[in-house]
């Protein structure tokens, strides 16, 4: 208490001297208080460059101007320039960069303060689908002069497992589309069109699921029908001498299925269980003719021939009179033939081609130097009969 009273007394005693000093001190103190209460700290991040400032400006715009920080109309300032400063303010300046955007063959340029691809697209007001192919990726950070390319997705019809769906794709090829959609083809599966085909608008892609299965089947072996000639049976007559019977076998197949439907099968093995039995049918080869007298005879062949006549005497046979090539006596019923056409010893029946005359039954027992091809020489008993006959057309039936 004594100390306080002592100080008080000191000030009273010397007040004329201390008053001006105290006034100056108070003014300085007031100025300090005013300055300290109005000064603000501002941290500026200018495109990654951070600087600390002290300012008494009240708004962001005033601060930027006072510090000579120039902002273009495309730059982004956070907080906005018309915002008030607080005692401690952080200001972020995103400087605009110019990038090119190529979309469908057309290129536009855009200034964007935000540096990601997606920001540039929004800034340029370019809409896009999730299926569009944008290069580089949406979250890629951009630099001045970079280029963004947009490949627009097109509608594609996809047919798989019997289901048809429409998708949008910006892929280059069918293979790329399948890979990007997680569609995996097995070793035998395939697509139409082929995987290396370029994607086009409204293309139809069909996935073909290929499966192979091995199956064993029991099958019939069809019997065969065999026809045999019977030279003792008349033409037109047939008879079954053995009935046919199907056999059985097991067959192993490799079966190919596409989308569940069988498209082919390959035989890989077979085993006969029971053999098939042929059906045997005989058919007649013998023809039947009826003579002008009403007699029937069976023949194997008929020939159209030119007939001449001869007699047993020397005028017809010269030194061979009374002889034939087979040693048989020449007489009516013996004819001379070309053995290459009618074998010697053949029994025949000879009549006119028009049925106007009949020589009758005969034997091919002679030959002649002039008898070649479809020619026959008919033997008559007398010279006159031979001369009367002359040269005529005839039919020669070779008898059975």
| Residues of the domain holding 199 | 154-208
What CATH number is given to the structural domain containing 302? 2.40.40.10
The string of pLDDT tens digits covering residues 293-318 is 777 888 888 999 999 999 998 887 77
Considering the domain architecture, whether residues 359 and 391 belong to the same structural domain is answered as yes
Q: Which of 282, 306, 336 is the last residue of a domain?
A: 282
Residues 89, 103: one domain?
A: no
Q: Is residue 35 part of a domain?
A: yes
Buried b (16+ CB within 10 A) or exposed e, 276-312: beebbbbebbbbeeeeeeeeebbbeeebebebbbbbb
Are 230 and 182 within one domain?
Answer: no
Report residue 280: phi and psi, to 5°. Answer: -110, 125
Residue 6 maps to a domain: no
242 within domain boundaries: yes
Q: Is residue 289 part of a domain?
A: no
| Domain assignment of residue 7, yes or no | no
Helix (H, G, I), strand (E, B) or coil at 125: coil
State the pLDDT at residue 23.
47
Task: Report whether pLDDT(86) > 50.
Answer: yes
Residue 290 lies in a domain: no
Average pLDDT, integer, range 207-214: 94
Q: Average of pLDDT values for 370-375?
A: 94
Q: Is the pLDDT of residue 29 over 50?
A: no
- Please state the domain count of the chain: 5
Residues 184, 227 share a domain: no
- Residue 9 falls inside a structural domain: no
Residues 102, 112, single domain; the answer is: yes
* Residue 126 pLDDT: 93
Given 256, 282, 308, the domain boundary residue is 282
Q: What's 126's DSSP letter?
A: -
Q: Is residue 288 part of a domain?
A: no
In this prediction, residue 394 carries a pLDDT of 94
Specify the pTM.
Answer: 0.50
15-38 helix and 2-13 helix, angle to the nearest 10 degrees: 100
Query: Domain check: are 40 and 129 in the same one?
Result: no
Q: Is the pLDDT of residue 11 over 70?
A: no
| 268 and 304 inside one domain | no
Q: What tens digit of pLDDT does each residue of 242-257 get?
A: 999 999 999 999 999 9
Mean of all residue pLDDT scores within the chain = 88
């Amino acid at each position: 208490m004594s100390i306080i009273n002592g100080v008080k007394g000191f000030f009273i005693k010397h007040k004329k001297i201390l008053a001006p000093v105290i006034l100056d001190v108070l003014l300085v103190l007031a100025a300090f208080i005013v300055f300290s209460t109005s000064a603000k700290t501002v941290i500026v991040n200018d495109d990654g460059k951070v600087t600390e400032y002290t300012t008494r400006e009240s708004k962001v715009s005033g601060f930027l101007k006072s510090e000579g920080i120039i902002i273009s109309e495309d730059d982004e300032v956070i907080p906005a320039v018309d915002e008030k400063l607080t005692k401690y303010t952080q200001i972020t300046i995103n400087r605009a960069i110019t990038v090119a955007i190529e979309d469908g063959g057309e290129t536009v340029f855009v200034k964007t303060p935000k540096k990601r691809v997606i920001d540039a697209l929004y800034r340029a007001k370019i809409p896009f689908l999730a299926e569009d192919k944008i290069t580089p990726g949406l979250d890629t950070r951009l630099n001045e002069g970079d280029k963004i390319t947009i490949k627009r997705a097109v509608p594609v019809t996809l047919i798989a497992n019997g289901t048809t769906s429409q998708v949008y794709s910006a892929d280059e090829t069918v293979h790329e589309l399948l890979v990007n959609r997680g569609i995996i083809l097995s070793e035998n599966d395939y697509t139409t069109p082929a995987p290396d085909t370029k994607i086009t608008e409204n293309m139809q892609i069909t996935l073909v699921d290929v499966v192979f299965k091995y199956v064993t089947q029991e099958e019939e072996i069809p019997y065969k029908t065999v026809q045999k000639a019977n030279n003792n049976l008349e033409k037109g007559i047939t008879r079954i001498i053995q009935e046919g019977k199907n056999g059985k076998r097991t067959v192993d197949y490799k079966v190919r299925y596409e989308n569940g439907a069988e498209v082919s099968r390959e035989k890989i093995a077979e085993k006969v269980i029971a053999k098939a039995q042929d059906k045997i049918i005989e058919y007649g080869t013998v023809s039947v003719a009826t003579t002008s007298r009403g007699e029937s005879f069976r023949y194997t062949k008929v020939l159209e021939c030119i007939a001449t006549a001869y007699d047993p005497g020397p005028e017809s046979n010269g030194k061979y009179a009374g002889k034939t090539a087979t040693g048989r006596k020449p007489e009516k019923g013996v004819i001379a033939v070309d053995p290459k056409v009618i074998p010697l010893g053949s029994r025949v029946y000879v009549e006119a081609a028009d049925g106007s005359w009949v020589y009758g039954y005969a034997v091919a027992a002679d030959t002649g130097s002039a008898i070649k091809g479809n020619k026959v020489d008919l033997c008559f008993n007398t010279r006159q009969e031979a001369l009367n006959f002359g040269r005529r057309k005839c039919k020669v039936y070779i008898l059975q």
